[in-house]
Amino acid sequence: MSAARGDAAFVESRRPLLLPSFLPAARYLMTGESSVAHGYRLVCVPESDVGPMQTYADDYGLGRWLRVARTWAPGKGRLMRNSLRHGMNVIEIGANIGYFTALAARAVGSSGHVLAVEADPKTFSLLRTNVEMNHFDNVELLPVAAHRYAGLITSTRDPGNDVDDPAYVGSEARQATPLQAVRLDDVLDPDVPIHFVTVDVGGMGHAAIEGLARTIQNWRPRILVEFNPQKIGWFGDDPHAVLALYRELGLEIGVLGWDALRLRNETDMDIDELILDGFAFSSDADAEITERTRQIGLINLVLKSK
């Protein structure tokens, strides 16, 4: 399979991204009338920049920003709007309540397809509510944790934010939830091209990408992934090894332009060379990028096949 095959498949009629034989363990979340977790109050944002969105009232992260600004993560949103076209197929790992799901579904249109992966049952319920409220018939929902291994994992939350922060896996479980983990390579239809992948699952994004190794090799999608050195450490891995993994997968690593400006403005990092290289960086810059990212929490990386 080659990139040329992916380009040719771009004009084919829309097909589901998942193999029909795969049935997730939590498929009960996908049947019957959609409903949110008992005891949680919803606040609707009728005019967000991706359409109407329901939020949890006690969500002081993404939900609060949507209620106040009607948007979320504008740097990521700009990249996706500039990258996505009608007919593309998109995987969103860590879909949360569906903001970027909605953005992608509108961008790829009726001839494209979006697979929204969200492991947390409470969050998944609101994701499903938002997809159905917007009548997105080009979105598939998958209630699993994308991982490098298939099996059962323990998910915990950042103890300071029960609602918004993505799940990570660690040894110090405070609010632990057992979840089904899958390698997406095992459940995706290998004959359906993937054009764009976005990953926002705290410190385990690299594990999800490792489980997509065959898909990356076959279809060479552009990947937008969060890089959070502290949470990668909580997951039990080394941030430098994560960057090395991406290169082993044949990926060029770049910094999202929005986050390059944050590195300059908040850590006084000289980004002239980054700009000259189109925001891409080599292994020589890994240590500086990692340490300066620690100072601001996280950045988003743009990964492209070489």
Put simply, whether the predicted model's pTM sits higher than 0.85 gets the answer yes
Please tell me the predicted confidence (pLDDT) of residue 34. 82
In the chain, DSSP assigns E strands to 42-48, 51-56, 89-93, 113-117, 139-142, 145-146, 151-155, 177-182, 196-199, 222-227, 251-255, 299-305
Local confidence pLDDT in tens for the 306 residues of the chain: 333 344 434 544 468 999 999 999 999 999 888 877 778 899 999 999 999 999 999 998 999 999 999 999 999 999 999 999 999 999 999 999 999 999 999 999 999 999 999 999 999 999 999 999 999 999 999 999 999 999 998 876 654 444 445 444 544 445 677 899 999 999 999 999 999 999 999 899 999 999 999 999 999 999 999 999 999 999 999 999 999 999 999 999 999 999 999 999 999 999 999 999 999 999 999 999 999 999 999 999 999 999
What is the spatial distance between Cα 186 and Cα 135, in angstroms, rounded to a whole number?
28
Torsion over CA of 164, 93, 103 and 107, rounded to 10 degrees?
180
Say how far apart CA 214 and CA 237 lie, in whole Å. 22
pLDDT at 177: 79
Spatial distance between the Cα atoms of 95 and 127, rounded to a whole number of angstroms = 7
Residues 6 or more apart whose Cβ sits within 8 Å of residue 270 = 264
> pLDDT value at position 89?
98
- Residue 84: the pLDDT is 98
pLDDT for position 15 = 81
Decide: 221 and 240 in contact? Cβ < 8 Å. Answer: no
CATH topology of domain 3-12+73-305: Rossmann fold (3.40.50)
pLDDT for position 14? 64
* Tokens found for residue 192: 């359906």
Please tell me the predicted confidence (pLDDT) of residue 38.
74
Return d(Cα 17, Cα 34) in angstroms, integer.
Answer: 22
